[in-house]
Structure 1
Amino acid sequence: METSELLVGMTFLSLTVIGILGNFTLLYHYIYIYLTRCRFRSIDWVLMHLIVANILTVVCKGVPRTVSFLGFKDIFNDMGCKWFSFVHRVSRGACIGSTSFLSVFQAIIISSRNFRYSDLMVRTHKCICCSVYLNWVIHLFTSSIFFVYLRAKHGNESTTNLKDFIYCSSVRQDPTSDILYATLLSGPDMVLLGLMLWASGSMVLTLYRHKQMMEYISRTKASSRSSPESRATKTILLLVGTFVSFYTISSLCQSFLSLLYNPGWSLVNMAEMSSLLFPTVCPFLLMSQDSRASSYFKRNRHFPKPSDQEQN
């Protein structure tokens, strides 16, 4: 094995292990909060969908690549290749949808001053829940095209009209079919990305107006503290910014991969690796911004001192 292949394999292994551990840890935390109803927020339900989508993405993209770089070639038959690619594409779409709905949900909340005393939050939560489920269904439908065009490399060596994707191959189509295929897959994602950017811009504008309003209020300890809504908004904005950055890199790589007749080894690996960046970073980003997660994981580290026990 060459040095470049070894480095790529170790990178995929690291991203896969870190992503699986981080997402499963955070998923366990949110499930515990949901079952105990201990400070469970409306956005936590959407975050659970995002984490599940991250886990499916890491498993379907990182595990096969790690196994293939360890020397196990031709690990998929036709159905295995189709199913792993199908699940990865669905989970990727669910990740985009969950991030988009998080930003829309938070934008609606902070834009209403009296949401605590109205049924706006309840109605918004129901609407977001239906949208999350609908997003899964739409991507299940659009991603079914993988069952038509994808096939395993093993057993198709004599077929020359195939585009190589490491352990899978795609049937080459005419330019018109490629455009229709790309439109079908990217259409829902573009709509969700537009919603995400609109909601993020709305939240930034709301926070800016709030900051200007606070400049006219006397600076006291109570007023200088950021509200829970403001902290949640900044967390989602950070999450959206990270997602858009990694999604742009991944989309550019995927676009070049689709347009080139014979994509190179480096481009294929870069496209595969870029799809793992956000699912790996996301759980640690959420844990660093969620005070509940920090206190939950540090709870067993703090014990009362002997002097405190004697005083009690």
Structure 2
Amino acid sequence: MSSLSIVLNFQAGFGVLANMFLLVFYTFIILCHRPKPMDMISCHQTFIHIVLLITKTDIWLWDIFESLNIENDFKCKTNFYITKVLRGLSICTTCLLSVFQAVTISPSFFLLAKFKYKLKKKTNVISAFLFIWSFNLLFNCYYIFFAGAFTNVSETNQMKVTKFCSLFPMNYIIRALILTTAISRDAFLVGLMLATSAYMVIILFRHKRQHKHLHSLSHLRASPEKRATQTILLLVISFVVTYWVDFIISSTTVLLWMYDPVTLSVQKFVMNVYPTITPLVQISSDNRITNMLKHVQSMCHQIF
């Protein structure tokens, strides 16, 4: 196993463990307490990131397929399709998280404040999940037709993207159409994230100026929302940075129809950065988790 594979496996393993911890926590909150809609969105995002990290590590996924005696062509189509669907779900959920927080902290006299009541309903959050799942499952169907098992690159002009898988040749018009559609979707979602992030920054700035003239207790009451907003802003910035690096690599390889193992490994590493750091940011910023960990730590000290 190469050093790059070791780094990717370590990164994926660490990310899966961190997300598993967060998934267990949010599942417990949803089943045993009164969950906030934000908890449901974060739980959904955490589940997506666990599956995304596992599928991006070919060794794990390929071992599962090997044990099931599935043909290489089906393995490749499934791998491409699942990875692209999960990538789309990740960007949609991050965008949903950003929009939700922007509405949540919006003052009553702002335009977005009228949506607060609607977002508090669990049915609306579940409906949003169903929509983004349906959209991404349909949107990425073309990978079923243009991905498959690698045969002979010199004869068929396939673009080899893993040891066993490749993309089949596409008409330039189809390739341009797919790329344009994907760019349009991602540009809209990233643009919406940046717009809501700018909106939240403005709200925080106004909030900070107002609290210079108010009592300190009001400042304390507002601090949880401020912390949550700062967390979402950090997640959005992290996503946008990793997304554009991944987008540049993907667009270059598709347009030039050329992939090499090092580029693929770098792209996987970049794609895994966001799902790996997301649970760490959420764990460190959620008082419920930090208080629980402190309580467990104090209990361990008492026992031992």
Q: Equivalent residue of 2:49, what SS?
A: helix
Residues 23-34 of structure 1 mapped to structure 2, 5 A cutoff: 23-34=19-30
Match of 1:112 in 2: 107
* Aligned counterpart, 2:204: 207
- CA–CA distance in 2 between the matches of 1:264 and 1:82? 20
Query: Hey, what does 1:92 align to over in structure 2?
Result: 87
SS, match of residue 108 in structure 2 = coil
Count of aligned pairs: 291
Measure how far apart 1:250 and its partner are.
1.2
After TM superposition, list the pairs within 5 Å mapping 1:66-105 onto structure 2.
77-105=72-100
Q: CA–CA distance in 2 between the matches of 1:129 and 1:199?
A: 21
The 5 Å alignment of 1:219-258 reads 220=216, 223=219, 226-258=222-254
Structure 1: gaps of 5 or more residues: 69-74, 307-312
Coordinate RMSD, CA, aligned: 2.7
CA contact (8 A) 1:9 1:65 kept: no
Which aligned pairs between 1:107-186 and structure 2 lie closer than 5 A? Answer: 107-113=102-108, 120-126=115-121, 127-153=124-150, 155-156=151-152, 159-166=155-162, 167-186=164-183
User: Percent sequence identity over matched residues?
Assistant: 29
More helix by share: 2
C-alpha change, 1:97 and 1:162, in structure 2 (3 Å) is: same
- Structure 1 residue 225: deviation in Å? 6.5
Higher CA-based Rg: 1
Contact 1:12 1:66 in 2 (8 A): no
Aligned residue type for 1:80:
K
Instruction: Give the corresponding residue for 1:283.
Output: 279
AA aligned to 1:132 is F
**Structure 1 residues 184-241: Cα deviation after superposition (integer angstroms, max 9, x where no partner):** 33332222212111111110011111111122336x4653675221111111111111
Alignment of 1:282-301 (within 5 A): 282-301=278-297
The answer to whether the Cα contact below 8 Å between 1:19 and 1:281 also exists between their aligned partners in 2 is yes
Deviation track 1:160-202 (CA, whole Å, cap 9, x = no partner) reads 2201102310112232221111123333222221211111111
Q: Tell me the CA shift for residue 149 of structure 1.
A: 0.3
Separation in 1 of the partners of 2:127 and 2:107?
21
Q: Could you say what secondary structure the match of 1:172 adopts?
A: coil
- Out of 192, 197, 200, the position equivalent to 1:195 is 192
1:34-45 equivalence runs, <5 A: 34-37=30-33, 40-45=35-40
